[in-house]
Structure 1
Amino acid sequence: MSEEVLDELDLGQYNTSQEGRLRLLPAVRNCRKFKLGKLYGFSETEWEVVASALKSDPSHLRDLDLGEIPLDDSGVERLSSGLQSPNCRLEALSLRCCWLSEISCSALISALKSNLHLRELELSQIYALQDSGVELLRDLLESPACRLETLRLSGCSLSEISCSALASALKSNLHLRDLDLSESDLQDSGVELLRDLLESPDCRLETLRIRDETIRAKIQKTSDVVLSSAC
Protein backbone atom coordinates (compact mmCIF):
# COMPACT_ATOMS: atom_id res chain seq x y z
CA MET A 1 0.00 0.00 0.00
CA SER A 2 2.97 2.30 -0.58
CA GLU A 3 2.58 5.36 -2.79
CA GLU A 4 4.43 3.60 -5.62
CA VAL A 5 2.03 1.97 -8.09
CA LEU A 6 2.75 -1.74 -8.65
CA ASP A 7 2.90 -3.09 -12.20
CA GLU A 8 1.36 -6.41 -11.17
CA LEU A 9 -0.01 -8.08 -8.06
CA ASP A 10 -0.89 -11.79 -8.17
CA LEU A 11 -2.49 -13.01 -4.93
CA GLY A 12 -2.02 -16.61 -6.07
CA GLN A 13 1.74 -16.25 -5.60
CA TYR A 14 1.45 -15.75 -1.85
CA ASN A 15 1.80 -18.85 0.31
CA THR A 16 -0.85 -17.92 2.83
CA SER A 17 -4.40 -18.76 3.80
CA GLN A 18 -7.51 -17.46 2.07
CA GLU A 19 -7.95 -15.04 4.96
CA GLY A 20 -4.40 -13.79 4.38
CA ARG A 21 -5.08 -13.20 0.69
CA LEU A 22 -8.27 -11.33 1.51
CA ARG A 23 -6.28 -9.03 3.80
CA LEU A 24 -4.07 -8.21 0.79
CA LEU A 25 -7.09 -7.36 -1.37
CA PRO A 26 -7.07 -3.56 -0.69
CA ALA A 27 -3.79 -3.39 -2.64
CA VAL A 28 -5.93 -3.73 -5.80
CA ARG A 29 -6.29 0.05 -5.62
CA ASN A 30 -2.58 0.52 -6.10
CA CYS A 31 -1.60 -1.68 -9.06
CA ARG A 32 -1.99 -1.74 -12.82
CA LYS A 33 -2.55 -5.49 -13.19
CA PHE A 34 -4.33 -7.53 -10.53
CA LYS A 35 -4.81 -11.32 -10.47
CA LEU A 36 -7.14 -12.65 -7.82
CA GLY A 37 -6.50 -16.38 -8.12
CA LYS A 38 -8.81 -18.91 -6.45
CA LEU A 39 -10.76 -17.41 -3.57
CA TYR A 40 -14.06 -18.47 -2.02
CA GLY A 41 -16.48 -16.78 0.31
CA PHE A 42 -16.09 -13.44 -1.45
CA SER A 43 -18.50 -11.12 0.37
CA GLU A 44 -20.17 -7.88 -0.63
CA THR A 45 -17.43 -6.06 1.31
CA GLU A 46 -14.68 -7.60 -0.86
CA TRP A 47 -16.59 -6.78 -4.06
CA GLU A 48 -16.93 -3.21 -2.86
CA VAL A 49 -13.13 -3.04 -2.51
CA VAL A 50 -12.70 -4.15 -6.14
CA ALA A 51 -15.37 -1.72 -7.32
CA SER A 52 -13.77 1.15 -5.42
CA ALA A 53 -10.46 0.46 -7.19
CA LEU A 54 -12.24 0.97 -10.52
CA LYS A 55 -14.00 4.10 -9.27
CA SER A 56 -11.03 5.78 -7.59
CA ASP A 57 -9.65 9.03 -8.97
CA PRO A 58 -7.24 8.35 -10.45
CA SER A 59 -7.85 4.64 -11.11
CA HIS A 60 -4.56 2.84 -11.80
CA LEU A 61 -6.12 -0.55 -12.61
CA ARG A 62 -5.79 -1.55 -16.26
CA ASP A 63 -5.93 -5.37 -16.17
CA LEU A 64 -8.27 -7.26 -13.81
CA ASP A 65 -8.12 -11.06 -13.71
CA LEU A 66 -10.83 -12.42 -11.42
CA GLY A 67 -9.94 -16.02 -12.22
CA GLU A 68 -12.44 -18.64 -11.10
CA ILE A 69 -14.10 -16.67 -8.32
CA PRO A 70 -17.79 -17.43 -7.68
CA LEU A 71 -19.97 -14.57 -8.89
CA ASP A 72 -23.50 -13.99 -7.64
CA ASP A 73 -25.90 -11.25 -8.70
CA SER A 74 -24.85 -8.91 -5.88
CA GLY A 75 -21.17 -9.34 -6.79
CA VAL A 76 -21.86 -8.59 -10.45
CA GLU A 77 -23.90 -5.55 -9.41
CA ARG A 78 -20.94 -4.09 -7.50
CA LEU A 79 -18.42 -5.00 -10.20
CA SER A 80 -20.69 -3.39 -12.80
CA SER A 81 -20.92 -0.18 -10.78
CA GLY A 82 -17.13 0.05 -10.94
CA LEU A 83 -17.00 -0.69 -14.66
CA GLN A 84 -19.55 2.04 -15.32
CA SER A 85 -17.63 4.67 -13.39
CA PRO A 86 -16.27 7.56 -15.51
CA ASN A 87 -12.97 7.07 -13.68
CA CYS A 88 -12.63 3.43 -14.81
CA ARG A 89 -9.73 2.91 -17.22
CA LEU A 90 -9.82 -0.89 -17.34
CA GLU A 91 -8.44 -2.34 -20.59
CA ALA A 92 -8.63 -6.09 -19.85
CA LEU A 93 -11.15 -8.13 -17.84
CA SER A 94 -10.99 -11.89 -17.31
CA LEU A 95 -13.66 -14.17 -15.82
CA ARG A 96 -13.40 -17.98 -15.94
CA CYS A 97 -15.51 -20.89 -14.70
CA CYS A 98 -18.22 -18.64 -13.28
CA TRP A 99 -21.93 -19.30 -13.02
CA LEU A 100 -23.59 -16.13 -14.30
CA SER A 101 -27.37 -15.86 -14.18
CA GLU A 102 -29.24 -14.11 -16.98
CA ILE A 103 -29.62 -11.11 -14.67
CA SER A 104 -25.86 -11.06 -14.04
CA CYS A 105 -25.04 -11.39 -17.75
CA SER A 106 -27.37 -8.50 -18.55
CA ALA A 107 -25.88 -6.27 -15.83
CA LEU A 108 -22.30 -7.07 -16.83
CA ILE A 109 -22.80 -6.53 -20.57
CA SER A 110 -24.69 -3.30 -19.89
CA ALA A 111 -21.76 -2.04 -17.80
CA LEU A 112 -19.22 -2.99 -20.48
CA LYS A 113 -21.17 -1.05 -23.09
CA SER A 114 -20.38 2.16 -21.25
CA ASN A 115 -16.67 1.34 -20.92
CA LEU A 116 -14.72 3.03 -23.71
CA HIS A 117 -11.33 1.62 -22.71
CA LEU A 118 -11.86 -2.16 -22.64
CA ARG A 119 -9.81 -3.92 -25.31
CA GLU A 120 -9.71 -7.52 -24.04
CA LEU A 121 -12.53 -9.60 -22.54
CA GLU A 122 -12.38 -13.21 -21.38
CA LEU A 123 -15.55 -15.11 -20.50
CA SER A 124 -14.13 -18.62 -20.74
CA GLN A 125 -15.98 -21.67 -19.38
CA ILE A 126 -18.96 -19.54 -18.36
CA TYR A 127 -21.43 -22.39 -18.13
CA ALA A 128 -24.53 -20.20 -17.95
CA LEU A 129 -23.59 -18.22 -21.06
CA GLN A 130 -26.51 -19.64 -22.99
CA ASP A 131 -28.25 -18.15 -26.04
CA SER A 132 -29.57 -15.19 -24.04
CA GLY A 133 -26.06 -14.40 -22.78
CA VAL A 134 -24.51 -14.59 -26.26
CA GLU A 135 -27.27 -12.37 -27.65
CA LEU A 136 -26.41 -9.81 -24.97
CA LEU A 137 -22.78 -10.16 -25.97
CA ARG A 138 -23.84 -9.49 -29.57
CA ASP A 139 -25.41 -6.24 -28.41
CA LEU A 140 -22.07 -5.27 -26.86
CA LEU A 141 -20.10 -6.08 -30.01
CA GLU A 142 -22.56 -4.17 -32.19
CA SER A 143 -22.43 -1.11 -29.94
CA PRO A 144 -20.69 1.88 -31.61
CA ALA A 145 -18.78 2.44 -28.36
CA CYS A 146 -17.29 -1.09 -28.32
CA ARG A 147 -13.52 -1.13 -28.86
CA LEU A 148 -12.85 -4.79 -28.03
CA GLU A 149 -9.90 -6.26 -29.93
CA THR A 150 -9.73 -9.67 -28.21
CA LEU A 151 -12.64 -11.87 -27.09
CA ARG A 152 -12.07 -15.24 -25.38
CA LEU A 153 -14.97 -17.67 -25.12
CA SER A 154 -12.96 -20.85 -24.64
CA GLY A 155 -14.89 -23.80 -23.28
CA CYS A 156 -18.34 -22.26 -23.80
CA SER A 157 -21.22 -24.24 -25.25
CA LEU A 158 -22.40 -22.40 -28.37
CA SER A 159 -25.65 -23.47 -30.01
CA GLU A 160 -26.64 -22.62 -33.57
CA ILE A 161 -28.51 -19.58 -32.24
CA SER A 162 -25.42 -18.46 -30.29
CA CYS A 163 -23.11 -18.93 -33.29
CA SER A 164 -25.54 -17.02 -35.50
CA ALA A 165 -25.68 -14.11 -33.03
CA LEU A 166 -21.89 -14.05 -32.71
CA ALA A 167 -21.30 -14.21 -36.46
CA SER A 168 -23.81 -11.42 -37.07
CA ALA A 169 -22.09 -9.17 -34.52
CA LEU A 170 -18.62 -9.79 -35.94
CA LYS A 171 -19.73 -8.70 -39.40
CA SER A 172 -20.51 -5.23 -38.04
CA ASN A 173 -17.65 -4.94 -35.53
CA LEU A 174 -14.68 -2.98 -36.90
CA HIS A 175 -12.24 -3.58 -34.05
CA LEU A 176 -12.22 -7.27 -33.01
CA ARG A 177 -9.13 -9.04 -34.31
CA ASP A 178 -8.70 -12.10 -32.08
CA LEU A 179 -11.50 -14.57 -31.21
CA ASP A 180 -10.82 -17.59 -29.01
CA LEU A 181 -13.31 -20.46 -29.34
CA SER A 182 -10.88 -23.21 -28.35
CA GLU A 183 -12.49 -26.13 -26.50
CA SER A 184 -15.94 -24.77 -27.34
CA ASP A 185 -18.68 -27.20 -28.31
CA LEU A 186 -19.37 -26.31 -31.95
CA GLN A 187 -21.99 -28.23 -33.92
CA ASP A 188 -21.96 -28.53 -37.74
CA SER A 189 -24.37 -25.61 -38.11
CA GLY A 190 -22.09 -23.43 -36.00
CA VAL A 191 -19.05 -24.43 -38.04
CA GLU A 192 -20.85 -23.44 -41.26
CA LEU A 193 -21.79 -20.05 -39.79
CA LEU A 194 -18.19 -19.40 -38.77
CA ARG A 195 -16.93 -20.42 -42.19
CA ASP A 196 -19.35 -18.04 -43.86
CA LEU A 197 -18.25 -15.29 -41.48
CA LEU A 198 -14.56 -15.74 -42.28
CA GLU A 199 -15.28 -15.64 -46.01
CA SER A 200 -17.34 -12.45 -45.67
CA PRO A 201 -15.67 -9.22 -46.84
CA ASP A 202 -17.09 -7.56 -43.70
CA CYS A 203 -15.08 -9.80 -41.36
CA ARG A 204 -12.17 -8.00 -39.65
CA LEU A 205 -10.86 -10.99 -37.68
CA GLU A 206 -7.16 -11.79 -37.98
CA THR A 207 -6.96 -14.82 -35.66
CA LEU A 208 -9.54 -17.45 -34.73
CA ARG A 209 -8.46 -19.94 -32.07
CA ILE A 210 -9.99 -23.41 -32.43
CA ARG A 211 -8.23 -26.48 -31.06
CA ASP A 212 -10.15 -29.15 -33.00
CA GLU A 213 -8.14 -29.88 -36.20
CA THR A 214 -11.21 -31.28 -38.00
CA ILE A 215 -13.16 -28.08 -37.41
CA ARG A 216 -10.19 -25.95 -38.46
CA ALA A 217 -9.96 -27.89 -41.71
CA LYS A 218 -13.66 -27.32 -42.42
CA ILE A 219 -13.44 -23.60 -41.74
CA GLN A 220 -10.13 -22.66 -43.35
CA LYS A 221 -10.97 -22.82 -47.06
CA THR A 222 -10.16 -19.54 -48.78
CA SER A 223 -10.15 -17.32 -45.69
CA ASP A 224 -7.08 -15.23 -44.87
CA VAL A 225 -7.82 -15.46 -41.15
CA VAL A 226 -5.16 -17.34 -39.17
CA LEU A 227 -6.67 -20.41 -37.50
CA SER A 228 -4.71 -21.28 -34.38
CA SER A 229 -4.91 -24.15 -31.90
CA ALA A 230 -3.11 -22.18 -29.19
CA CYS A 231 -5.04 -21.06 -26.10
Structure 2
Amino acid sequence: MNNNNLQDSGMKLLCIGLKNINCKLEILRLNCISITDEGCAALASAFNSNLRELDLSRNQIGDSGVTEISSLLRNSQTLQILRLSDCSITEEGYKALSSALRSNPSHLIELDLTGNDPGPSGVKQLSDLLQDPNCQLKTLRFLGPAADEGCQYVTGIVGKNPLLLRELNLSEHKLGDTGVNQISALLQDKHCKLNTLILKNNCITEGGCHVLAAALNSNPSNLTELDLSENKLGNPGMKIISTLFENVQCRLEKLK
Protein backbone atom coordinates (compact mmCIF):
# COMPACT_ATOMS: atom_id res chain seq x y z
CA MET A 1 0.00 0.00 0.00
CA ASN A 2 3.06 2.28 -0.29
CA ASN A 3 2.58 5.91 -1.36
CA ASN A 4 -1.19 6.01 -1.00
CA ASN A 5 -3.21 8.52 1.03
CA LEU A 6 -4.79 6.07 3.46
CA GLN A 7 -4.52 8.34 6.51
CA ASP A 8 -5.63 7.09 9.91
CA SER A 9 -9.21 6.50 8.78
CA GLY A 10 -8.07 4.23 5.95
CA MET A 11 -5.67 2.46 8.30
CA LYS A 12 -8.55 1.63 10.65
CA LEU A 13 -10.53 0.13 7.77
CA LEU A 14 -7.56 -1.98 6.71
CA CYS A 15 -7.18 -3.20 10.28
CA ILE A 16 -10.68 -4.70 10.18
CA GLY A 17 -9.29 -7.20 7.70
CA LEU A 18 -6.16 -7.80 9.75
CA LYS A 19 -8.28 -8.77 12.77
CA ASN A 20 -9.90 -11.61 10.82
CA ILE A 21 -8.64 -14.88 12.31
CA ASN A 22 -8.33 -16.31 8.79
CA CYS A 23 -6.01 -13.49 7.63
CA LYS A 24 -2.64 -14.97 6.65
CA LEU A 25 -0.89 -11.70 5.71
CA GLU A 26 2.88 -11.95 6.24
CA ILE A 27 4.21 -8.76 4.59
CA LEU A 28 2.64 -5.32 5.11
CA ARG A 29 4.22 -2.29 3.47
CA LEU A 30 2.76 1.07 4.49
CA ASN A 31 5.51 3.44 3.41
CA CYS A 32 4.31 7.06 3.12
CA ILE A 33 0.56 6.63 3.63
CA SER A 34 0.00 9.73 5.84
CA ILE A 35 -0.78 7.97 9.12
CA THR A 36 -0.01 9.19 12.64
CA ASP A 37 0.13 7.58 16.07
CA GLU A 38 -3.64 7.01 15.79
CA GLY A 39 -3.10 4.71 12.81
CA CYS A 40 -0.33 2.92 14.70
CA ALA A 41 -2.67 2.30 17.63
CA ALA A 42 -5.20 0.72 15.26
CA LEU A 43 -2.48 -1.45 13.75
CA ALA A 44 -1.22 -2.60 17.15
CA SER A 45 -4.73 -3.54 18.29
CA ALA A 46 -5.29 -5.53 15.07
CA PHE A 47 -2.06 -7.45 15.51
CA ASN A 48 -1.67 -10.25 12.95
CA SER A 49 0.20 -13.24 14.37
CA ASN A 50 1.52 -14.18 10.90
CA LEU A 51 3.23 -10.86 10.17
CA ARG A 52 6.93 -11.24 9.25
CA GLU A 53 7.66 -7.82 7.70
CA LEU A 54 6.25 -4.38 8.53
CA ASP A 55 7.28 -1.14 6.81
CA LEU A 56 5.96 2.16 8.24
CA SER A 57 8.70 4.41 6.84
CA ARG A 58 8.04 8.07 5.95
CA ASN A 59 5.01 8.47 8.19
CA GLN A 60 4.93 11.12 10.93
CA ILE A 61 4.13 8.64 13.68
CA GLY A 62 6.52 10.16 16.24
CA ASP A 63 7.38 8.68 19.62
CA SER A 64 3.77 7.97 20.57
CA GLY A 65 3.28 5.96 17.37
CA VAL A 66 6.47 4.01 17.99
CA THR A 67 5.26 3.26 21.52
CA GLU A 68 2.16 1.64 19.98
CA ILE A 69 4.32 -0.39 17.58
CA SER A 70 6.52 -1.40 20.52
CA SER A 71 3.54 -3.06 22.14
CA LEU A 72 3.17 -5.10 18.96
CA LEU A 73 6.85 -6.05 19.18
CA ARG A 74 6.43 -7.27 22.74
CA ASN A 75 3.80 -9.79 21.64
CA SER A 76 5.03 -10.88 18.22
CA GLN A 77 6.59 -14.29 17.74
CA THR A 78 6.97 -13.87 13.96
CA LEU A 79 7.98 -10.27 13.09
CA GLN A 80 11.50 -10.33 11.62
CA ILE A 81 11.77 -7.04 9.70
CA LEU A 82 10.63 -3.61 10.94
CA ARG A 83 11.30 -0.46 8.93
CA LEU A 84 10.73 2.92 10.58
CA SER A 85 12.94 5.30 8.59
CA ASP A 86 12.02 9.02 8.56
CA CYS A 87 9.25 8.68 11.15
CA SER A 88 10.12 11.64 13.45
CA ILE A 89 11.30 9.30 16.21
CA THR A 90 13.40 10.78 19.02
CA GLU A 91 15.12 9.46 22.12
CA GLU A 92 11.84 8.54 23.81
CA GLY A 93 10.83 6.32 20.88
CA TYR A 94 14.22 4.61 20.82
CA LYS A 95 13.80 3.79 24.51
CA ALA A 96 10.38 2.26 23.86
CA LEU A 97 11.77 0.11 21.05
CA SER A 98 14.72 -0.98 23.16
CA SER A 99 12.47 -1.92 26.08
CA ALA A 100 10.17 -3.95 23.81
CA LEU A 101 13.07 -5.81 22.24
CA ARG A 102 14.60 -6.58 25.61
CA SER A 103 11.36 -8.21 26.69
CA ASN A 104 11.09 -10.17 23.42
CA PRO A 105 14.54 -10.21 21.77
CA SER A 106 14.63 -13.45 19.83
CA HIS A 107 12.74 -12.81 16.57
CA LEU A 108 13.52 -9.43 14.99
CA ILE A 109 16.53 -9.64 12.65
CA GLU A 110 16.33 -6.27 10.83
CA LEU A 111 15.47 -2.80 12.18
CA ASP A 112 15.73 0.34 10.04
CA LEU A 113 15.69 3.70 11.88
CA THR A 114 17.45 5.81 9.25
CA GLY A 115 16.57 9.49 9.24
CA ASN A 116 15.37 9.78 12.83
CA ASP A 117 16.88 11.76 15.71
CA PRO A 118 17.93 9.43 18.55
CA GLY A 119 19.19 12.10 20.92
CA PRO A 120 22.23 11.55 23.14
CA SER A 121 21.27 8.10 24.42
CA GLY A 122 18.93 6.67 21.78
CA VAL A 123 21.56 4.83 19.78
CA LYS A 124 23.21 3.54 22.95
CA GLN A 125 19.90 2.04 24.07
CA LEU A 126 19.70 -0.14 20.98
CA SER A 127 23.44 -0.68 20.62
CA ASP A 128 23.54 -2.08 24.16
CA LEU A 129 20.70 -4.38 23.20
CA LEU A 130 22.93 -5.99 20.57
CA GLN A 131 25.16 -7.23 23.38
CA ASP A 132 22.29 -9.38 24.70
CA PRO A 133 23.07 -12.99 23.72
CA ASN A 134 19.36 -13.56 23.00
CA CYS A 135 19.16 -10.65 20.57
CA GLN A 136 18.93 -11.85 16.96
CA LEU A 137 19.28 -8.44 15.25
CA LYS A 138 21.67 -8.76 12.32
CA THR A 139 20.91 -5.45 10.61
CA LEU A 140 20.44 -2.22 12.57
CA ARG A 141 20.37 0.95 10.46
CA PHE A 142 20.72 4.43 11.92
CA LEU A 143 22.72 6.22 9.25
CA GLY A 144 22.20 8.09 6.02
CA PRO A 145 23.37 6.47 2.74
CA ALA A 146 26.95 7.85 2.70
CA ALA A 147 27.62 7.12 6.38
CA ASP A 148 26.00 3.69 6.05
CA GLU A 149 28.34 2.90 3.16
CA GLY A 150 31.29 3.93 5.33
CA CYS A 151 29.97 1.83 8.19
CA GLN A 152 29.71 -1.25 5.96
CA TYR A 153 33.22 -0.59 4.61
CA VAL A 154 34.70 -0.52 8.11
CA THR A 155 32.63 -3.50 9.26
CA GLY A 156 34.04 -5.46 6.32
CA ILE A 157 37.58 -4.68 7.50
CA VAL A 158 37.30 -5.23 11.26
CA GLY A 159 34.31 -7.60 11.37
CA LYS A 160 32.44 -5.39 13.86
CA ASN A 161 29.95 -2.54 13.57
CA PRO A 162 31.98 0.63 14.32
CA LEU A 163 28.89 2.24 15.90
CA LEU A 164 29.34 -0.23 18.75
CA LEU A 165 33.04 0.55 19.24
CA ARG A 166 34.86 3.20 21.25
CA GLU A 167 38.25 2.23 19.77
CA LEU A 168 38.74 1.59 16.04
CA ASN A 169 42.07 0.19 14.89
CA LEU A 170 42.55 0.25 11.11
CA SER A 171 46.37 0.08 11.19
CA GLU A 172 48.27 -1.36 8.23
CA HIS A 173 45.24 -1.88 6.00
CA LYS A 174 46.67 0.34 3.26
CA LEU A 175 43.57 2.50 3.21
CA GLY A 176 45.26 5.39 1.45
CA ASP A 177 43.40 8.62 0.81
CA THR A 178 40.63 6.65 -0.95
CA GLY A 179 39.94 4.61 2.17
CA VAL A 180 39.88 7.74 4.32
CA ASN A 181 37.30 9.15 1.90
CA GLN A 182 35.22 6.00 2.43
CA ILE A 183 35.05 6.40 6.19
CA SER A 184 34.77 10.21 6.33
CA ALA A 185 30.96 10.32 6.22
CA LEU A 186 30.83 7.82 9.07
CA LEU A 187 33.31 9.81 11.19
CA GLN A 188 31.29 13.00 10.87
CA ASP A 189 27.96 11.36 11.65
CA LYS A 190 26.55 12.13 15.11
CA HIS A 191 26.00 8.42 15.75
CA CYS A 192 29.76 7.74 15.64
CA LYS A 193 31.11 7.89 19.22
CA LEU A 194 34.73 6.80 18.72
CA ASN A 195 37.19 7.81 21.44
CA THR A 196 40.29 6.31 19.78
CA LEU A 197 41.04 6.14 16.05
CA ILE A 198 44.22 4.35 14.96
CA LEU A 199 45.24 4.78 11.30
CA LYS A 200 48.92 3.82 11.57
CA ASN A 201 50.81 2.89 8.37
CA ASN A 202 47.99 3.44 5.87
CA CYS A 203 49.67 5.45 3.09
CA ILE A 204 47.65 8.54 3.98
CA THR A 205 48.88 11.78 2.40
CA GLU A 206 47.99 15.47 2.50
CA GLY A 207 44.81 14.76 0.49
CA GLY A 208 43.55 12.30 3.10
CA CYS A 209 44.34 14.80 5.84
CA HIS A 210 41.97 17.34 4.30
CA VAL A 211 39.08 14.83 4.35
CA LEU A 212 39.92 13.47 7.79
CA ALA A 213 40.24 16.91 9.39
CA ALA A 214 36.94 18.06 7.86
CA ALA A 215 35.15 14.94 9.14
CA LEU A 216 36.58 15.18 12.64
CA ASN A 217 35.93 18.93 12.85
CA SER A 218 32.24 18.31 12.17
CA ASN A 219 32.04 15.70 14.97
CA PRO A 220 34.89 16.59 17.35
CA SER A 221 33.53 16.05 20.84
CA ASN A 222 34.22 12.33 21.37
CA LEU A 223 37.68 11.63 19.93
CA THR A 224 40.47 11.79 22.51
CA GLU A 225 43.22 9.84 20.69
CA LEU A 226 44.32 9.88 17.04
CA ASP A 227 47.23 7.83 15.70
CA LEU A 228 48.53 8.75 12.23
CA SER A 229 52.03 7.31 12.67
CA GLU A 230 53.99 5.99 9.67
CA ASN A 231 51.91 7.77 7.02
CA LYS A 232 53.04 10.25 4.37
CA LEU A 233 51.51 13.41 5.80
CA GLY A 234 54.52 15.66 5.34
CA ASN A 235 54.52 19.19 6.70
CA PRO A 236 51.38 20.20 4.72
CA GLY A 237 49.40 17.26 6.10
CA MET A 238 50.58 17.99 9.61
CA LYS A 239 49.42 21.60 9.34
CA ILE A 240 45.97 20.41 8.22
CA ILE A 241 45.63 17.96 11.13
CA SER A 242 46.75 20.69 13.53
CA THR A 243 43.66 22.71 12.63
CA LEU A 244 41.67 20.26 14.77
CA PHE A 245 42.98 22.05 17.84
CA GLU A 246 41.44 25.31 16.65
CA ASN A 247 38.00 23.79 17.22
CA VAL A 248 36.81 24.68 20.73
CA GLN A 249 34.96 21.35 20.95
CA CYS A 250 38.09 19.33 20.19
CA ARG A 251 38.87 16.87 23.04
CA LEU A 252 42.02 15.33 21.56
CA GLU A 253 44.51 14.41 24.29
CA LYS A 254 46.86 12.17 22.27
CA LEU A 255 48.06 12.77 18.73
CA LYS A 256 50.63 10.41 17.26
TM-score band, normalised by the shorter chain?
A: 0.5 to 0.7
Q: Which amino acid aligns with 2:29?
A: S
More strand by share: 1
Alpha-carbon separation, structure 2, partners of 1:220 and 1:189: 13
1:28-71 deviation line (CA, Å, top 9, x unaligned): xxxxxxxxxxxxxxxxxxxxxxxxxxxxxxxxxxxxxx011112
Runs of 4 or more above 6 Å deviation = none
- Residue among 112, 133, 157 paired with 1:201: 133
* Largest Rg, 1 or 2: 2
Q: Which amino acid aligns with 1:148?
A: L
Q: TM-score when scaled to structure 1?
A: 0.60
Structure 1 gap ranges (5+) = 1-65, 223-228
What is residue 79 of structure 2 aligned with on the other side?
148
What is residue 10 of structure 2 aligned with on the other side?
75
- Residue among 65, 80, 85 paired with 2:20: 85
Alignment RMSD: 2.4
| Count, aligned residues | 154
Matched, 1:176 2:80: no
The answer on whether the counterparts of 2:37 and 2:68 sit within 8 Å (CA) in structure 1 is no
1:80-118 deviation line (CA, Å, top 9, x unaligned): 01111122111100111232233322111111x2x1211
What is residue 186 of structure 1 aligned with on the other side?
118
1:156-188 deviation line (CA, Å, top 9, x unaligned): 222111000001111222210111122333322
The answer on whether the counterparts of 1:156 and 1:185 sit within 8 Å (CA) in structure 2 is no
Alpha-carbon separation, structure 2, partners of 1:202 and 1:157: 29
The answer on whether the counterparts of 1:163 and 1:193 sit within 8 Å (CA) in structure 2 is yes
Matched, 1:124 2:23: no
What is residue 165 of structure 2 aligned with on the other side?
221
Percent of paired sites with the same residue: 43
Alpha-carbon separation, structure 1, partners of 2:8 and 2:87: 20
Q: Which moved more, 1:202-211 or 1:76-85?
A: 202-211
The answer on whether the counterparts of 1:194 and 1:219 sit within 8 Å (CA) in structure 2 is no
Q: Which moved more, 1:191-200 or 1:147-156?
A: 191-200
1:106-165 deviation line (CA, Å, top 9, x unaligned): 111111x2x1211000000111x112111111110001x441000111122221110000
The answer on whether the counterparts of 2:6 and 2:35 sit within 8 Å (CA) in structure 1 is yes
- Any idea what SS the aligned residue of 2:22 has? coil
The verdict on how the C-alpha distance between 1:82 and 1:169 changes in structure 2, with shifts beyond 3 A counting, is same
Q: TM-score when scaled to structure 2?
A: 0.55
